[in-house]
Structure 1
Amino acid sequence: MKNRLQYTLKQLLFHQLIEFFPYYIGAFICLYATHWIQSHLPFLAKELADIVETGVDKIDTWKFFALAIGIIIFRTSSRLLFFYPARVLQKDLRVELLEKLEGATPLRYRKHSDGQLFQILQMDMEQLRALIGFALLQVGNIIVALIVLIPKMVAFNPQMINTLVPMVISFIIFTIIVSRNKNMFKKGQDQQGEVQNVIIETYAGKKTIKNYHSEEDFITWFKNFSWRELTTFYKAGIGVGISIPLLPLGIGLSLIYGGHIVYQQDLGASSLIVFSGFIFLFLEPIMFLSWIGVVFARSYGSWERLKGLVHDLAEETFEEKLYLEKNPIHSKKEDEVLRLNIQFWEDQIDLHFPKNDWSVLVGKTGHGKTYILTQIADILKLQKRDISYVSQDPYLYNDTVENNIFLGQEITEERRDQAFALLKLFGLDYLAGSKEALLQMQVGEKGKRLSGGQAKRLAIVRSLMADVDIYIWDDPFSSVDLILEKQIISELRNWAPLVDKTVILSSHRLSTVRASDYCFYLEKNEGIKEEGIIQDLLQPEKETYEYFKQQMV
């Protein structure tokens, strides 16, 4: 795939023109045909005015109808030929950025909030599409208009070309003023992303509008932040607001100047109609072209934000360098034990996970088990290992159960049967009356049609169907009762696709620990208090035994 995200904005525009050259040639031909047809309208209008003056009863209007049809066809075609490449570019940029996001560890984009990522993937991409589609169209529009209309004006009356000077001057001043606001536009887009992030986090966390509105302190803060965002956008728009009147002023001065020439040379009212027609034909490209300054300013801000994210995704973080320094990449075939050096609070600890076994991390709540699992996932991803990680709060897409399980993988009937068997094992089959109904069931936005426990179990099914070498699960069975947990683990321990795989999980349950092979007992200030095979650590003289003593009772 082409690496468009490494280009500068100018390079992006150049490569876009080269890649879709036939489309743009076709578009320019359609624009030329449009303006060539339109250039006849002022003369036809003059002819019509002369005919009316002579008092003719019957006027042949077929020419006007034919010209109207031609304008509609070529004008519409020119826009389609410009807009389609812009849509393709928008799609390609999004796919490239998503691939970079997926290939990078979360450490690299942690300073970009959900709202900022949404702003870049949605709003900034839309802004770039507007630049490629709308702005390039209007640049072509004005170029072709000048090529077609100026010779016609000169042929009609050479002095009329001077009447365009006020329009051109007003456009230049407008463009200069607007271009100075590009940094302010970027700042406004940054603040808009933060406001979006606040909304996303609040509604996702509170779940209900009632709770959202009951937090008065938050509402006050949100108002203040929104006001700062609106103020920034207002400041960015001041230059545009002040300079916009320059455009109709320039057009008005051009009309007055042309009227003066018609009067001085005694060309007659019909000549004024011709001149006014030319001004009208220049009006559309000039008015739209004036907004190109706004589009370029905003697109510049969008591209800078996008490039900032791309830079962060390509830049190796301090933590990644430390992880790889402490955990150099080894050949998978040589590893009978998965050896990792992990930061645990203020210290570094060594964790050795037996290959093809179930290893469990235990310890008191808040002592760092989740952080360790996150580090393990980051390190193994940097080592290009084949892993699947399920957090305590996994994400589900607003799609069917089946699509949430396979996530773009090839779906065969055999794999569907396998997925359904796992759904039954995890007690999710009661959600629908049949296999087909269950797999096609919509889970809702972020899985809101499922309970937290159901969503977690669905995520584990998704993990199992990924068929990877190493599974990392954060407290996977906390949402099921002991009887169902026993059934699940018993089946999974004998499930053929999982027999030769390594499973690393955390748990607070003795039942989960007993079903595992190896255990690490962790404590915040001491690191690894004990480690070993389960049968040894559950002997009365062991500290792990003391930790679980109450559960044994």
Structure 2
Amino acid sequence: MTKTQFFAHFLRMNRKSYILAIFFIFLVNWLQVEIPRYIQLAIDLIDNGSPDGHQQLTTYVSIVVFMAIAMVVVRIWSRMYALNPGRVTEAALKNILLHKLTRLPNNFHSQFASGKLISIINNDLGGVRLLFGLGFLQFFNVLLALSLTPLWMWRISPELTLYSVIPIIIAFVIFRIGFKQMKTLHMEHMRRLQNLSAQLMGYLSGIDLIKSEQMSPWVKDEVEKLNQQLLHCRMQITRIQVFFMPVLDYANNLMKIVILGLGGYMLMSQQLTLGEITAFLSYSVLLAMPLMQLGRIATIYQRGMVGIESVQTILNAEIPEQDATSLTHNELDALQAETLSVRNLSFSYPGDEALVLDNVSFDIPPGKKIGVLGSIGAGKTTLVNCLNHHLDVPAGSVFLGDKDITTFARSDLRRYIKTVTQDPYLFSATVEDNIRFGSHAPDIAKTQVDEVLSLSQLSGDVGRFENGDQTLVGEKGIMLSGGQKQRLSIARALLEPSDLIILDNVLSAVDYETERKILEGLFDRLQNQSVLVVSHRVNALEYMDEIIVLSEGKVIAKGDHTTLLQTCPYYFDTWKLQQSEAEAAAC
């Protein structure tokens, strides 16, 4: 989406409000220039003591009062219709950006820190809102004021009008110099603000490490460096706003001096009346506000354009072709209860020639329980991220039924595959809200929430909380232990059925007995669903129909627990070592 298309889209979306706003802004400005004209007529009648003159004076004063009241009402309407589109545009853009971010693949998010994306949505969108709201209002106010007011001044005295605009022309030349410098500085300001936001996000995410390692002084120095860079940029912008932008206001004051000097001479030579001079001065006052607003409009315009450029970073990011279209209902139904097949899957990360997965093949039939065992660095998590298409897998490697998963949208694939990771993410909400998060069915009963809490062996812990399942878990679940976070993420995954649930080392923070109870309850509930359990614990895989043993990205053995104890030395040695550790822990 180009900038022209961007403007066209949102102007079209708010066209009714903008049309009404322009009408009312024009009406306000027409009333503003008409009032001094009637004041002029009234002043010129002051010396007329006749009854007709007195009656005419009363009429002019009444018209001025009526116009002033009407102008207040119309100005309110003009601001309502001009400012609301800014808020509407901001809300629409936030929805569009959030929807786009959830559809963009992992390689996009790896390029941009979360803090930068948050800064774009929170800070840069503020400039877009001002541009489509306050900027629109002030632009048309200034445009109409600088069109109508000089025209009414010309009707009084063309000569005086020409002399009075000379200071304005000179001021515009100076103003243009500052305007050019503003865009570069606003771009720099937005970039530094994004960097600061990204840095703060990183520090807040690692706040426990910072405190435990006593890194606070270092963090303070790093943040201070970014703050000083941001302050320096902001001060440069402020200097331009202070020295260049007010030049139009100074020009307006100089214009009043010209009007008083030359206009006074024309009054004494009877070329103008006292009422005309008064009206002319009133028009110069009307010009003062639009001229001062030009500096603010320039700032709003620059902020808005910089904000649009930042927003386009997300809007113009390419969604993979297969993710841009969704399968039909019939095609989605056809994928249910299909076998997930991995065929000769090899994978390496971009920029690294070493294979993390090397020629991996296996099947996950409907209703089967498959385990994956491997040490740290064996490629277990990479395999999981290939199965749910979080990573860009090679075509012809992973199939759901007879369909290659790279040929249809990730969102369609994830209707049937749920992944519970070893690093669960919890939101700053209640226990129940975290379980219900992402649920497509709004009518899920409270009993179902209680059931999955029980299956994940978390109901006892929740029962001891002061507010039960209405307890706030804090940012990223900070109020819970590691094991409680993992069990809560399992409860979330169990709330709605899916064809395949992948558990990626999610029970590493719980003891062996709790792990056994969770798996028993899980398999009892998911009798007709497929489960893939990834773990480095043999005990977690004893109940599997088939266990796949990974080592350095390769499948070195397959079979059930009993078979592997007899045929795979690596599996047997791992099981024996972990049995010894469990016995030692029990003592």
Give the TM-score category using the shorter length: 0.7 to 0.9
- The 1:210–1:69 alpha-carbon spacing in structure 2 relative to 1, beyond 3 Å, is farther
User: How far does residue 415 in structure 1 lie from its aligned partner after superposition?
Assistant: 4.1
> Are 1:426 and 2:444 matched, yes or no?
no
- Once residues 45 and 207 of structure 1 are traced to their aligned partners in structure 2, the CA distance between those partners, rounded to angstroms, is 71
Name the aligned partner's letter for residue 36 of structure 1.
W
> Are 1:444 and 2:474 matched, yes or no?
yes
- Once residues 348 and 579 of structure 2 are traced to their aligned partners in structure 1, the CA distance between those partners, rounded to angstroms, is 29
SS at structure 1 position matched to 2:557: strand
Alignment of 1:279-298 (within 5 A): 279-298=284-303
Q: 1:18 aligns with which of 5, 12, 15?
A: 12
Q: Is the 8 A contact 1:530 1:543 kept in 2?
A: no
Q: Percent identity?
A: 24
- The 1:50–1:398 alpha-carbon spacing in structure 2 relative to 1, beyond 3 Å, is farther
User: How far does residue 353 in structure 1 lie from its aligned partner after superposition?
Assistant: 3.5
User: How far does residue 191 in structure 1 lie from its aligned partner after superposition?
Assistant: 2.1
- Structure 2 residue aligned with 1:35: 29
Name the aligned partner's letter for residue 372 of structure 1.
L
Alignment of 1:191-202 (within 5 A): 191-202=192-203
- Structure 2 residue aligned with 1:151: 151
SS at structure 2 position matched to 1:538: helix
- Structure 2 residue aligned with 1:472: 502
> Are 1:511 and 2:511 matched, yes or no?
no
- The 1:199–1:130 alpha-carbon spacing in structure 2 relative to 1, beyond 3 Å, is same
Aligned residues: 531
Deviations 1:491-548 (A, max 9, x none): 22121xx333332232232221112232232333x63332333332133753211112
SS at structure 1 position matched to 2:566: coil
> Are 1:400 and 2:430 matched, yes or no?
yes
- Once residues 141 and 436 of structure 1 are traced to their aligned partners in structure 2, the CA distance between those partners, rounded to angstroms, is 58
- Structure 2 residue aligned with 1:127: 127
- Structure 2 residue aligned with 1:328: none
Deviations 1:122-156 (A, max 9, x none): 11111111111111111211222244433332333
- Structure 2 residue aligned with 1:343: 347
- Structure 2 residue aligned with 1:327: none
SS at structure 1 position matched to 2:522: helix
> Are 1:542 and 2:569 matched, yes or no?
yes
Name the aligned partner's letter for residue 37 of structure 1.
L
- The 1:402–1:144 alpha-carbon spacing in structure 2 relative to 1, beyond 3 Å, is farther
* Higher mean C-alpha displacement, 91-100 vs 451-460: 451-460
Q: Is the 8 A contact 1:27 1:82 kept in 2?
A: yes
Name the aligned partner's letter for residue 98 of structure 2.
L
- Once residues 45 and 408 of structure 1 are traced to their aligned partners in structure 2, the CA distance between those partners, rounded to angstroms, is 66
> Are 1:278 and 2:308 matched, yes or no?
no
> Are 1:520 and 2:558 matched, yes or no?
no
Alignment of 1:98-497 (within 5 A): 98-162=98-162, 163-171=164-172, 173-207=174-208, 214-236=215-237, 238-266=239-267, 267=272, 271-314=276-319, 332=335, 336-339=339-342, 341-343=345-347, 346-347=354-355, 348-356=358-366, 357-377=368-388, 378=390, 379=393, 382=406, 383-384=408-409, 385-386=413-414, 387-407=417-437, 409-430=439-460, 438-495=468-525
Larger Rg: 2
Q: Is the 8 A contact 2:246 2:292 kept in 1?
A: no
- Once residues 527 and 364 of structure 2 are traced to their aligned partners in structure 1, the CA distance between those partners, rounded to angstroms, is 13
Provide structure 1 residue ranges, at least 5 long, that are not aligned to the other structure.
Answer: 1-5, 321-330
- The 1:33–1:461 alpha-carbon spacing in structure 2 relative to 1, beyond 3 Å, is same
SS at structure 2 position matched to 1:174: helix
* Higher mean C-alpha displacement, 308-317 vs 43-52: 43-52
- Once residues 84 and 557 of structure 2 are traced to their aligned partners in structure 1, the CA distance between those partners, rounded to angstroms, is 63
User: How far does residue 434 in structure 1 lie from its aligned partner after superposition?
Assistant: 11
Name the aligned partner's letter for residue 355 of structure 1.
P
- The 1:468–1:104 alpha-carbon spacing in structure 2 relative to 1, beyond 3 Å, is farther
- The 1:73–1:517 alpha-carbon spacing in structure 2 relative to 1, beyond 3 Å, is farther
- The 1:473–1:261 alpha-carbon spacing in structure 2 relative to 1, beyond 3 Å, is farther
Name the aligned partner's letter for residue 156 of structure 1.
I
- The 1:17–1:332 alpha-carbon spacing in structure 2 relative to 1, beyond 3 Å, is closer
Q: TM-score, normalised by structure 1?
A: 0.84
User: How far does residue 201 in structure 1 lie from its aligned partner after superposition?
Assistant: 1.5
Deviations 1:147-204 (A, max 9, x none): 4433332333333432234335424542453234424422331221111111112122
Name the aligned partner's letter for residue 361 of structure 1.
V
Q: Is the 8 A contact 2:101 2:314 kept in 1?
A: no
Provide structure 2 residue ranges, at least 5 long, that are not aligned to the other structure.
Answer: 324-333, 399-404, 581-587
SS at structure 2 position matched to 1:314: coil
Q: Is the 8 A contact 1:262 1:268 kept in 2?
A: no
Q: Is the 8 A contact 2:455 2:522 kept in 1?
A: no
Q: Is the 8 A contact 1:420 1:435 kept in 2?
A: no
- Once residues 67 and 455 of structure 2 are traced to their aligned partners in structure 1, the CA distance between those partners, rounded to angstroms, is 70
Q: TM-score, normalised by structure 2?
A: 0.80
- Once residues 151 and 209 of structure 2 are traced to their aligned partners in structure 1, the CA distance between those partners, rounded to angstroms, is 65
SS at structure 2 position matched to 1:500: coil
- Once residues 125 and 152 of structure 2 are traced to their aligned partners in structure 1, the CA distance between those partners, rounded to angstroms, is 40
- Once residues 47 and 565 of structure 2 are traced to their aligned partners in structure 1, the CA distance between those partners, rounded to angstroms, is 110
User: How far does residue 211 in structure 1 lie from its aligned partner after superposition?
Assistant: 5.7
Name the aligned partner's letter for residue 10 of structure 1.
T
Deviations 1:287-325 (A, max 9, x none): 2233222222222222222222334443689xx9xxxxx
- Structure 2 residue aligned with 1:325: none
SS at structure 2 position matched to 1:389: strand
SS at structure 1 position matched to 2:111: coil
- Once residues 209 and 73 of structure 2 are traced to their aligned partners in structure 1, the CA distance between those partners, rounded to angstroms, is 51
User: How far does residue 246 in structure 1 lie from its aligned partner after superposition?
Assistant: 1.5
Deviations 1:79-115 (A, max 9, x none): 2112222222212222122112111222222111011
- Once residues 318 and 84 of structure 2 are traced to their aligned partners in structure 1, the CA distance between those partners, rounded to angstroms, is 29
Q: What CA RMSD, in Å, does the superposition of the two structures yield over aligned residues? A: 3.6
User: How far does residue 339 in structure 1 lie from its aligned partner after superposition?
Assistant: 0.7
- The 1:339–1:410 alpha-carbon spacing in structure 2 relative to 1, beyond 3 Å, is closer
Deviations 1:380-413 (A, max 9, x none): 7755312222222222223333433333545455
Q: Is the 8 A contact 1:344 1:372 kept in 2?
A: no
- The 1:16–1:190 alpha-carbon spacing in structure 2 relative to 1, beyond 3 Å, is same
Name the aligned partner's letter for residue 166 of structure 1.
P
SS at structure 1 position matched to 2:206: helix
- The 1:54–1:214 alpha-carbon spacing in structure 2 relative to 1, beyond 3 Å, is farther
- Once residues 51 and 439 of structure 1 are traced to their aligned partners in structure 2, the CA distance between those partners, rounded to angstroms, is 80
Name the aligned partner's letter for residue 393 of structure 1.
D
- Once residues 453 and 427 of structure 1 are traced to their aligned partners in structure 2, the CA distance between those partners, rounded to angstroms, is 10
SS at structure 2 position matched to 1:521: strand
- The 1:166–1:456 alpha-carbon spacing in structure 2 relative to 1, beyond 3 Å, is farther
- Once residues 461 and 68 of structure 2 are traced to their aligned partners in structure 1, the CA distance between those partners, rounded to angstroms, is 60
User: How far does residue 23 in structure 1 lie from its aligned partner after superposition?
Assistant: 1.2
- Once residues 478 and 190 of structure 2 are traced to their aligned partners in structure 1, the CA distance between those partners, rounded to angstroms, is 30
- The 1:70–1:473 alpha-carbon spacing in structure 2 relative to 1, beyond 3 Å, is farther
- Once residues 151 and 139 of structure 2 are traced to their aligned partners in structure 1, the CA distance between those partners, rounded to angstroms, is 19
